[in-house]
Amino acid sequence: MTGMGPEVIFISLAILLVLVLLGVHVGIALGLASVIGVYFSYDDVNIALSILGSTAYESIRNSSLAVIPLFMLMGEVLSKSGAARDLYLLCNRVMRIIPGRLAAATVLGNAAFAAVSGVAIASAATFSRIAYPEMKKLGYRRSYALGVIAGSGSLGMLIPPSVLLIVWAILTEASVGALFLGGVFPGLLLGGTFILYCAYKAWREPDVAPLGESSAFHHSNTDSLKSGFGILSLVGLVLGGIWLGVFTPTEAAGFGALGSLVVGKLKGMNKASFMEAIYDAGRSTAPIMFLLIAGSMYSRLLAISGGVNMIQDLFFGLGLGPVGIIFLMTVIWLLLGTIIDSISDILLTVPIFYPIAMAAGMNEVAFAIYGILIIEAGLLTPPLGLLIFAVKSSVPDPEVSLKDIFTGSIPYWIMIIIVAIIVIAFPGIASFLPDHFLG
């Protein structure tokens, strides 16, 4: 005997919203709202627990999830080996003829490292400690230096392998490889836009980035440059293997993790450092897995309650059209991005937004890339952008204020929004490579 109908979704959403606003962990809030919602749907607690138990089991045994801990391990090993600094030195060398070259090098290095670490906040925190001291020594304007660190941290979420793209693919049952390919051109477009802005700003206002020789050059040597090339080669192996069909994403993650161990060994990591990297990767992965289980339970509630169809009818009943629907989704993503992390943002919204977007005729890959871009912009949105606080807590300079970081990151927020609009307006930018390589 069933209980309430589709209206149960509004009860569960209200419970979810209240719990999140009260500061309850998003995973716990999702789980509680799901249990209560399924109970109201079936009016039987045993059925509710049985359905949600089987959902949790099926979600955690999904082979695609193996990608996440492997890429996390890859990022932790490379971070602790010191290879992230070597990557920055290499990018510094490549960009030395460009005005504001340290800022441009930060864009390249941050993007590459965010790709292998899989988490924008971790990458921004790392480059706050590596790049900011170098820019400070040369007299770079504080807001200019801090803005590029915070802004470019979000870039890595488009350049595969990205944890956000993996989570999105799992929730929507899309191809991980297709989303990885879909992020390439938008990622290059956004990265190129960031670098052009850094160079133009330094050219127009020479005082923001004084000319001078970075001390990083004096500390660079052949080994460190080889290490930087090693990371880029590792990223090339992982991505090239996926694009050419040599590896599945899971196999590519395995090769990436193995390659990072080789790089770590060559960098002189000892057993204790390797074990610390493994433990840290586990500590980073466990919360993500918990969130994915709770998100799967929430998705099951939406399916069995008929809530998605009800919300879809509500959206289309407003007469907004595709543009209006995208605008409403964008506002919600940006607002949520100021209070919760990106993965939680995806888990809360994508199970509802994705079916609506598909019903509106949007391109699957382009919508995913657009969503990732807007969610990452949310991390820079005042007053509570999480990337801003990550940079503030990581920069080794007590004089840095939140105002400095927010001021410097506003241009990057604008650029992310502009590129997102371009992607959704011209979906071929995101869908060309998946259509070409994967058919």
pLDDT in tens, 391-415: 887 777 778 887 888 888 899 999 9
Measure the CA–CA gap between 67 and 180, rounded to whole angstroms.
Answer: 13
Distances (CA, A) of 59 to 48, 169, 171, 339, 366: 17, 13, 10, 26, 25
Measure the CA–CA gap between 418 and 190, rounded to whole angstroms.
Answer: 9
Helix 8-21 to helix 26-42 angle, to the nearest 10 degrees?
A: 160
Is pLDDT above 80 for 374?
A: yes
Measure the CA–CA gap between 396 and 221, rounded to whole angstroms.
Answer: 25
Name the DSSP class of 66.
G
235: nearest Cα among 367, 90, 369, 435 = 90
pTM: 0.80
Measure the CA–CA gap between 372 and 160, rounded to whole angstroms.
Answer: 12
Distances (CA, A) of 380 to 29, 52, 88, 171, 390: 24, 35, 23, 24, 11
Q: Residues 223-265: pLDDT tens digits?
A: 666 666 777 777 777 777 776 777 777 787 788 888 888 888 8
Q: Please, which pLDDT band fits residue 121 given cuts at 50, 70 and 90?
A: low
Mean pLDDT of the chain: 79
Structure tokens at 329: 């989704």
Measure the CA–CA gap between 108 and 111, rounded to whole angstroms.
Answer: 5
334: nearest Cα among 294, 383, 292 = 383
Percentage of residues in the chain having pLDDT higher than 90: 10
- State residue 64's pLDDT score: 66
Q: Are 226 and 138 in contact (CB under 8 A)?
A: no
Q: Are 55 and 38 in contact (CB under 8 A)?
A: no
Q: Please, which pLDDT band fits residue 61 given cuts at 50, 70 and 90?
A: confident
Q: How far is CA 84 from the centre of its chain?
A: 18
Distances (CA, A) of 63 to 26, 93, 173, 253, 388: 24, 40, 12, 12, 34
Distances (CA, A) of 350 to 114, 202, 298, 367, 393: 23, 39, 11, 11, 30
Whether the upstream peptide bond of residue 210 has omega within 30° of 0, thus cis, is no
- State residue 1's pLDDT score: 42
- State residue 60's pLDDT score: 72
Is pLDDT above 90 for 71?
A: no
Is pLDDT above 90 for 366?
A: yes
Measure the CA–CA gap between 25 and 109, rounded to whole angstroms.
Answer: 32
Contacts of 393 (CB under 8 A, 6+ apart): 125
Measure the CA–CA gap between 68 and 165, rounded to whole angstroms.
Answer: 11
Measure the CA–CA gap between 191 and 415, rounded to whole angstroms.
Answer: 10
Q: How far is CA 158 from the centre of its chain?
A: 7
pLDDT, mean of residues 132-144 = 84
- State residue 297's pLDDT score: 77
